[in-house]
Amino acid sequence: MKAFTTGPFTGRHITIIMVAFFAVVIAVNLLMARYATSTFGGVVVENSYVASQNFNKWLDEAEREKALGWTAEATRTADGRIAISLSGAPAQGLALGAHARHPLGRLPDQDLTFRREADGRFVSEQALPAGRWRLRIEAKADTDGGAQRWRTEQDVL
């Protein structure tokens, strides 16, 4: 019975196999490192010390915003614009804005301005390109009790 090779298995064969194996491993590692660094810049906050000094203030703001009881539902219209329905918010003196961020950073961030429709929804003046976007929504209301500010984040497909 004859083996699949025509000659003996030499040191040259094992060298070629080892070099090919490690070339594949290194190529995959470099590719994965490239993907990892291109999708996440690594910066959550610019200065962690300054962020730690503001943390309690941010918690207090979040509690005040939660106490307002407002909720938002963001949807995409047929022409790519964003429609936001707010519930629990005052009907008058309300202004809405949003910052749209692509989750993987492949498309540039966009600031959205809204106008109120007759049905009470807010519809953006700008359309967003297709895909998944994270909206940072901010509503401001001037009421008899003073100015109120409310923020939330939602994903829109």
Supply the pTM of this predicted model.
0.63
* Domain architecture of the chain: domains with CATH: 71-156 (2.60.40.10)
Q: Tell me: the pLDDT tens digits for 100-120?
A: 998 776 788 899 999 988 888
Question: How confident is residue 90, by pLDDT bands cut at 50, 70 and 90?
Answer: confident
pLDDT of 42 reads 66
For residue 2, is pLDDT > 60? no
Instruction: Report DSSP letters for 47-113, one per residue.
Output: -HHHHHHHHHHHHHHHHHHHHHT-EEEEEE-TTSEEEEEEESS-SSSEEEEEEEE-TTS-S--EEEE
pLDDT of 97 reads 92
For residue 145, is pLDDT > 70? no
Q: Tell me: the pLDDT tens digits for 39-85?
A: 776 667 788 898 899 899 989 999 988 888 888 899 999 999 999 98
